[in-house]
Every structure is written in structure tokens, then in C-alpha cells.
């Protein structure tokens, strides 16, 4: 039994720093690829990797945003009210039509204007743009897989781990002293409704008998298409949404780490 627990711990931690052997300076936490990285083969090496990851997360001040290069639907945005659609991402661009409020719309790209506001690209008989800050359902940030992200509103950290596999599966791993207070949600690409949780279990990290985490999964028959996924985090009435691109089949560990300030 002990050997099984250790093996599971190594497996969970194996991919944690596959691409996190150093970070850039400044506010963004950006993980860099390491071509010669190898999975840990012992519990001791797994613990060392997890400690390094903790240091990276602690030093992270803001998310690593940026637009993924994949084409297709990123997420669904819901306009708060009827609004204009424009020929380009800016208030000075030509108005080409209107969209109704309260109706989920598929977003294909995001661009930020000179005032720091996000514009969402739609495909409505041609490419048009709407004001992203006047919608709900879109992400607060788009993060890279294996790049730690710190959310200022909730105080939680998000880290999307990945290990190649024949079939895609996603599971939440919620830890920290506020793990029982946070509510994580996963949204499939283009969906305005979160996946229902199916099974939630308490687990203990293999290298610590008193540090627990919550494993929260979804139905086994859930299909995970390629595209942009959103992670919703709710804690003490604060709500945050981050997104990431899943374009390769594999096991995605959605780490949500919440500790008080």
C-alpha cells in the first residue's frame, strides 16, 4: 500500500516542472522549456520538483497572458446588453451591426487596445469585434500550460499540469488551507455552462502526511475536445476565470492552490 501511495505521488508530481526550470524576471511568471528534462524516478526527486514549483508559485505576481495560436472557438461570451459590433477592435472602428444581450456568442480571438481593454472576435457573416469588458463568461487571463498564474482577486494560484496520454482527461487538484472554501469549475470549449462535478475525494500528498488536497473529477464518459478551456474559481464571493489551450491528448491536472494572505 505504501509503495502504491509513493508511486502515485511520483506520478502526480512527474510533470509539474517539465517546462519550469527557471522563470523570467518582471511581473509575468513564464516557464521556459528544458529539452533534457526527465520525469522523477524517486520520491526524493519528486519532492525536490514540488519544492521548486512552490518557489515559482510564491514568486509569481501576475498571469502569463497571451493569445494561443490555435484557430477555433476559444470560449463563449455573453453580452450584458445589446451592443455594437465593429469591423476592427476599437471604438473608432466602423460599426457593422449589433448583437443581442444575454445570448452566448463563440469568441475566436482576443485583442487588447491601447487603453488595455479586450475586444472579442466573432464570426457573424464575417469577422467582427465586440467590447469584451461589456460581456460576462470570458476569462480574466489566458495562461500557458505549465506556467503558474496568481489571481489577485481570489488570492489563489492556478497551475495546469500535463502528461501525454492516448485519451484526454482533466481533474482538479485543490490544495491550500482554504481548499474546502474554494469552488472550482471547468468549462468545455465554447460552453457557457460548467461541467458537473462527479466524485470528490480527499487525498494526502505522498511526501507529507498532514498536507491534504481535494481531487475533483468529472464523468468518465466526458469527452474533452481540443480548444480553449476555462477554469472558474469562486472564493469568498470573489470569482475569477482563467483559460488555457488543450490541443494535445493527455492527462491535465488542474491545480488550484488557495492560502490566506
**Is residue 101 included in any domain, yes or no?**
yes
Confidence at residue 57, expressed as pLDDT on a 0 to 100 scale: 45
Please tell me the distance from the alpha carbon of residue 235 to that of residue 82, in angstroms, as a whole number: 30
Tell whether 147 and 254 lie within a shared domain: yes
Confidence at residue 140, expressed as pLDDT on a 0 to 100 scale: 79
Please tell me the distance from the alpha carbon of residue 9 to that of residue 2, in angstroms, as a whole number: 11
- Of 113, 136, 159, the last residue of a domain is 136
The pLDDT averaged over each successive group of 10 residues in the chain (261 residues) is 36 38 32 34 48 46 34 72 92 92 81 88 87 83 88 92 93 93 90 86 77 90 90 91 90 93 72
- C-alpha cell of residue 228: 480553449
Q: What is the domain-level CATH number for residue 91?
A: 2.30.30.40
Tell whether 97 and 49 lie within a shared domain: no
Tell whether 128 and 54 lie within a shared domain: no
Tell whether 202 and 84 lie within a shared domain: no
Q: Which residues contact 73 (CB under 8 A, 6 or more apart)?
A: 106, 107, 108, 189, 190, 227, 228
Calculate the CA dihedral of residues 67, 68, 72, 73 and round it to 10 degrees.
Answer: -60
**Is residue 248 included in any domain, yes or no?**
yes
Confidence at residue 174, expressed as pLDDT on a 0 to 100 scale: 94
Tell whether 20 and 125 lie within a shared domain: no
Confidence at residue 48, expressed as pLDDT on a 0 to 100 scale: 52
Tell whether 50 and 179 lie within a shared domain: yes
- C-alpha cell of residue 31: 516557464
- Of 117, 136, 155, the last residue of a domain is 136
pTM above 0.85, yes or no: no
What domain range is 121 assigned to? 75-136
Tell whether 87 and 198 lie within a shared domain: no
**Is residue 70 included in any domain, yes or no?**
no
Instruction: Tell me the backbone φ, ψ of residue 258, rounded to 5 degrees.
Output: -125, 120
Amino acid at each position: 500500500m505504501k509503495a502504491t501511495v509513493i508511486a502515485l505521488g511520483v506520478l502526480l508530481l512527474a510533470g509539474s516542472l517539465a517546462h519550469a526550470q527557471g522563470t523570467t524576471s518582471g511581473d509575468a511568471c513564464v516557464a521556459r522549456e528544458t529539452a533534457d528534462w526527465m520525469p522523477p524516478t524517486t520520491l526524493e526527486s519528486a519532492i525536490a520538483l514540488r519544492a521548486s514549483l512552490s518557489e515559482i508559485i510564491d514568486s509569481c505576481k501576475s498571469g502569463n497572458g497571451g493569445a494561443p495560436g490555435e484557430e477555433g472557438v476559444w470560449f463563449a461570451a455573453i453580452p450584458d446588453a445589446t451592443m455594437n459590433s465593429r469591423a476592427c477592435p476599437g471604438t473608432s472602428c466602423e460599426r457593422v451591426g449589433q448583437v443581442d444581450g444575454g445570448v452566448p456568442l463563440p469568441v475566436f480571438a482576443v485583442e487588447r487596445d491601447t487603453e488595455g481593454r479586450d475586444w472579442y472576435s466573432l464570426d457573424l457573416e464575417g469577422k467582427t469585434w465586440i467590447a469584451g469588458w461589456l460581456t460576462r463568461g470570458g476569462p480574466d487571463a489566458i495562461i500557458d500550460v505549465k506556467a503558474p498564474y496568481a489571481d489577485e482577486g481570489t488570492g489563489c494560484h492556478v497551475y495546469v499540469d500535463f502528461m501525454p496520454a492516448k485519451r484526454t482527461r482533466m481533474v482538479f487538484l485543490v490544495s491550500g488551507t482554504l481548499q474546502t472554501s474554494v469552488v472550482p469549475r471547468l468549462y468545455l470549449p465554447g460552453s457557457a455552462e460548467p461541467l458537473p462535478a462527479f466524485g470528490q475525494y480527499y487525498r494526502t500528498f505522498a511526501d507529507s502526511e498532514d498536507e491534504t488536497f481535494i481531487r475533483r473529477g468529472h464523468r468518465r464518459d466526458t469527452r474533452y475536445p481540443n480548444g480553449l478551456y476555462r477554469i472558474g474559481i469562486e472564493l469568498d464571493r470573489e470569482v475569477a476565470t482563467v483559460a488555457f489551450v488543450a490541443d494535445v491528448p493527455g492527462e491535465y491536472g488542474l491545480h488550484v492552490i488557495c492560502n490566506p494572505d
